[in-house]
Amino acid sequence: MHNETSPGREDGEAMPSAISTTKIVIKPVHLDKRGQNYSVSLEAKTLITKTRNPTADACRRLVALGLSGRLEVWDDERPFPRMVIPDISRAAKLTVAEGAAHGPRIVPYQPFLSSTFVAGAAE
């Protein structure tokens, strides 16, 4: 007998997921006037040394390294993940923005173009 809610298993149990899970560890490194900065590690190797947006920045770095799938964000305080991101590639396209007019919110990521400042400095 086949269960409609759990395809592929006769006993109705869910099938194991084929999606890979990547685990990162974030650690606070420096608090400044703009907020908390974190380091990000993957398999005990530093992935990012300093960022105020560890999850989104880590997703972009992981995509650049060719990783995809699910992401678990861990710290040294909890026995469970701080956050679970179902799709690294989708999360890499987002970031957190905060300003005087609004609190933190999720927005589409727009890469910083350093050439904008170089051109402006030359004028």
85 belongs to a structural domain: yes
pLDDT (tens digit per residue) in 49-82: 999 999 999 999 999 999 999 999 999 999 999 9
DSSP string, 64-111: HTT--SEEEEE-SS-SS-SEEES-HHHHTTEEEEEETTEEEEEEE---
**At a CB cut-off of 8 Å and minimum separation 6, what does 94 contact?**
56, 106, 107, 108, 109
Residue type, 66: G
Q: Of residues 114 and 24, which shows the higher confidence score?
A: 24
79 belongs to a structural domain: yes
66 belongs to a structural domain: yes
Q: How many domains does the chain fold into?
A: 1
**pTM for the full predicted model:** 0.75
54 belongs to a structural domain: yes
40 belongs to a structural domain: yes
16 belongs to a structural domain: no
80 belongs to a structural domain: yes
42 belongs to a structural domain: yes
Q: Residue 100: which domain range? A: 21-110
